[in-house]
Structure 1
């Protein structure tokens, strides 16, 4: 029997930084999904998986080891809508899907914390294995706290091109840690605004906090289009922006009744260039779908 699970990608993070020595980010899961299927086979201990999905293969093997099924053979299939190398959690979604589908195929279960431990042993990871919106330590794999269900926010993901290797980016932690220490007050304010916004379902507060975090991250990973996109989106009724703090994409946070999406795209292309790509989506909770 083939087991399939669907896991959301992200539009970066709503907030990311370092507070009181702890790495923190607030997840931004979006309705752009990775579908991962796992089927048990008769091939002793073999894992069949696409050669470019090394991290997923590692996650499946570690799940088998954790659950005591190292002799079991599995076939893994992945069909993903999530762009790679943009800061949209493409590999994390595949890893989470691989863990969940493998466990389910075996008739076993794994907790979000178990999945987080497996994921963090492979690479810095997003907290999308947890339901809802969470504050998560992407380097330690620890959930700091659950913030609740996502408020109604549509997102226009803007991709200016290029890609970033997450492992290579995170190897420069000492430089980013010094900047995070300098900006800690701004990050704490951003985190408090987004937390309050989610609790009260006040999307304006979420947008304000996300924008503050995006601007604070410019010293770590500069996005030359950010100021223009903030200005354009605000002029048309956007509630704020967020970014992939270790990726390329910028998210424009919009009220669910926003009706100027084509004009928004047009003005961004006029100001930032015709090479800009867009993905229309919405904020959702983490977990499986």
Structure 2
């Protein structure tokens, strides 16, 4: 929470959802994968937003982003479906329009915006671009389990968030300075402060051990999914160092389910 507004700093990575939408004359039927009801709704909401009627839509969706882990898989699916629907109808939507439609469906990450941004994931009231990230990598550690984001986002934590606000301000100040100066160590320090503070909101029993390992292997800090289970170890752009950390993490944490080596990107949606 910053200035009384719920928000988060995005951390887009090189994993994505890809959507294709085919439109045909019809009565408004939406055909979509059974396990993607939010993306299906995104197609319908986008057509309504554009004033398109008398059409049926067929959504094809492909994503390699793990679900239920806090890696913005739903936002990626929804954003991809929105952009693909608009494109199929001959329209192009600005990131703010994509966010508005997405937020009408569920609280959303701000990864539809290019660059790293501070984004109000519930109301869309606050958006501050922080810029293109310096070359960075993140080692994503999944210890298992899932978080029901609908249930998580429906809970009221305002009193706790207000108590944490000074730490969040410190965190964001460091991240802003790191982005401005291209100083990865400041970004990592700010992310770690935020991760530790988030323990008051969603406790992760593995965080302390991951912070210790990060210090051992030369990571610049850690980040966590604000409404998920994964923990990220943040590194400078050094593949060999991340691979070494991967091996050590697998040895150290026998309960690891998945380890993902990702590159931090500038976010945004892309038409192909």
Q: TM-score, structure 1 length as denominator? A: 0.90
Aligned equivalents of 1:181 and 1:258: distance in 2?
A: 39
Higher share of residues assigned strand: 1
In structure 1, the residue matched to 2:259 is 278
Q: Secondary structure at the match of 1:197?
A: helix
Question: Residue by residue, what CA displacement relative to the aligned partner does 1:22-74 show, whole Å, maximum 9, x if unpaired?
Answer: 11211000001111111112333111111221111111111101111122111
Q: Which of 93, 97, 111 does residue 128 from structure 1 map onto?
A: 111
Aligned equivalents of 1:136 and 1:261: distance in 2?
A: 29
Question: Residue by residue, what CA displacement relative to the aligned partner does 1:115-169 show, whole Å, maximum 9, x if unpaired?
Answer: 1111111111100111111110001123421111111111100001011111111
Aligned equivalents of 1:143 and 1:81: distance in 2?
A: 29
Q: Secondary structure at the match of 1:280?
A: strand
1:243-254 to 2 correspondences below 5 Å: 243-254=224-235
Contact 2:141/2:256 (<8 A) preserved:
no
Instruction: State whether structure 2 residue 175 is matched by structure 1 residue 194.
Output: yes
Instruction: State whether structure 2 residue 145 is matched by structure 1 residue 159.
Output: no
Contact 2:242/2:261 (<8 A) preserved:
no
Q: Which of 199, 207, 231 does residue 188 from structure 2 map onto?
A: 207
Instruction: State whether structure 2 residue 230 is matched by structure 1 residue 256.
Output: no
In structure 2, the residue matched to 1:90 is 73
Q: Which of 246, 265, 268 does residue 246 from structure 2 map onto?
A: 265
Q: Which of 35, 41, 57 does residue 18 from structure 2 map onto?
A: 35
In structure 2, the residue matched to 1:70 is 53
Aligned equivalents of 1:285 and 1:70: distance in 2?
A: 35
Aligned equivalents of 1:23 and 1:135: distance in 2?
A: 10
Q: Which runs of 5+ in 2 are unaligned?
A: none
Q: Which runs of 5+ in 1 are unaligned?
A: 1-17
Aligned equivalents of 2:152 and 2:262: distance in 1?
A: 26
Contact 2:235/2:242 (<8 A) preserved:
no
Q: Secondary structure at the match of 1:251?
A: strand
1:136-155 to 2 correspondences below 5 Å: 136-155=119-138
Deviates more, 1:57-66 or 1:274-283: 274-283
Q: Secondary structure at the match of 1:134?
A: strand
**Number of residues paired by the alignment?**
270
Aligned equivalents of 2:201 and 2:233: distance in 1?
A: 20
Structure 1 position 241, deviation (Å): 0.3
> What's the Cα RMSD here?
1.3
Q: Secondary structure at the match of 1:31?
A: coil
Instruction: State whether structure 2 residue 202 is matched by structure 1 residue 221.
Output: yes
Aligned equivalents of 1:110 and 1:259: distance in 2?
A: 40
Q: Which of 147, 163, 172 does residue 182 from structure 1 map onto?
A: 163
Q: Secondary structure at the match of 2:9?
A: strand
Question: Residue by residue, what CA displacement relative to the aligned partner does 1:157-201 show, whole Å, maximum 9, x if unpaired?
Answer: 0001011111111111x2x22211111111000001011111111
